């Protein structure tokens, strides 16, 4: 965002040859006492530990699926958890600190989805900045709910069914090859159903 703002300011000032680098951004942040969130290792597990947890979780899910005769596995949020109780569906919790390797959404499609959503937001900000009038007090306008819904639906529509399927493969939760067709069919139904949104 800092890079985009710097480029927009340079364009407005008529500086055509302006370029920015990570070091200039780092110096700017230091000069103005700005910081970005930093990753820490506190409370995190080593990759080897995560891999072991993911394997154990996939094995546990497989054993539970076989014992219950389950042929389809889904990713769920709290709304689904509450509904599952009402219709007698068995859910399994992802191990703590291991969602990045055990939960299909976190493992593969949340990242691309969030990038697409963020790009829509940045485009909106740039359009607002480009349309401002010099000398008139400027105030950014937050997006309305309808616009947010459009961004979310558009970003989700750009995620390929193969990416979603890949998430289940990546986490070891797609049990048999014949389920691939069932997953594709279910994803197609979910993306085609207007009532989902």
Per the structure, the complete domain to which residue 21 belongs is given by: 1-31
Confidence at 113, pLDDT banded by 50, 70, 90:
very high
The residue among 116 and 74 whose pLDDT is bigger is 116
pLDDT tens-digit map of 42-61: 567 777 888 888 888 888 88
Whether 119 maps to a domain, the answer reads yes
Same domain, 91 and 63: yes
Same domain, 170 and 84: yes
pLDDT at 155 over 90: yes
CA nearest 183: which of 109, 40, 74?
74
Same domain, 10 and 50: no
Same domain, 21 and 104: no
Average pLDDT (153-169) is: 89
pLDDT (0 to 100) of residue 122: 93
Q: How far apart are CA 36 and CA 25, in angstroms?
A: 11
Lowest mean pLDDT among 64-73, 88-97, 175-184: 175-184
| Contact predicate 190/74, CB 8 Å | no
pLDDT (0 to 100) of residue 157: 92
pLDDT at 190 over 70: no
Same domain, 149 and 177: yes
pLDDT (0 to 100) of residue 153: 94
Same domain, 80 and 124: yes
Whether 36 maps to a domain, the answer reads no
Beta-strand ranges (E) seen in 1-155 are: none
Written as six digits, the tokens of 158 are 């750009």
**What percent of the chain has pLDDT above 70?**
82
pLDDT tens-digit map of 55-80: 888 888 888 888 888 777 776 666 77
pLDDT (0 to 100) of residue 182: 64
pLDDT at 175 over 90: no
- DSSP helix/strand/coil, 174: coil
Structural domain total, the chain: 2
Give percent helix, percent strand, percent coil of the chain, each to the nearest 5.
Answer: 60, 0, 40
Confidence at 40, pLDDT banded by 50, 70, 90:
low
| Contact predicate 73/175, CB 8 Å | yes
Same domain, 100 and 77: yes
Same domain, 11 and 104: no
pLDDT (0 to 100) of residue 156: 92
Same domain, 76 and 120: yes
Same domain, 86 and 173: yes
pLDDT (0 to 100) of residue 150: 95
pLDDT at 197 over 50: no
C-alpha count within 13 angstroms, C-beta hemisphere, residue 135: 0
Same domain, 105 and 52: yes
Same domain, 11 and 93: no
């Amino acid at each position: 965002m800092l890079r985009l703002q710097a480029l927009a300011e340079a364009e407005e000032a008529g500086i055509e040859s302006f370029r920015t680098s990570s070091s200039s951004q780092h110096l700017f942040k230091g000069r103005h006492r700005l910081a970005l969130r930093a990753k820490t290792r506190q409370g995190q597990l080593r990759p080897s530990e995560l891999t072991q947890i993911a394997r154990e979780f996939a094995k546990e899910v497989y054993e539970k699926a076989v014992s219950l005769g389950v042929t389809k596995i889904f990713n769920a949020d709290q709304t689904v958890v509450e509904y599952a109780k009402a219709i007698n569906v068995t859910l399994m919790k992802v191990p703590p600190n291991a969602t990045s390797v055990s939960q299909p959404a976190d493992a593969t499609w949340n990242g691309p989805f969030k990038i697409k959503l963020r790009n829509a937001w940045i485009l909106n900000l740039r359009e607002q900045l480009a349309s401002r009038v010099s000398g008139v007090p400027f105030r950014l306008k937050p997006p309305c709910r309808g616009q947010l819904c459009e961004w979310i639906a558009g970003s989700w529509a750009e995620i390929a069914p193969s990416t979603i399927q890949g998430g289940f493969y990546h986490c070891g939760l797609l049990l048999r090859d014949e389920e691939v067709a069932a997953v594709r069919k279910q994803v197609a139904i979910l993306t085609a159903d207007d009532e989902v949104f």
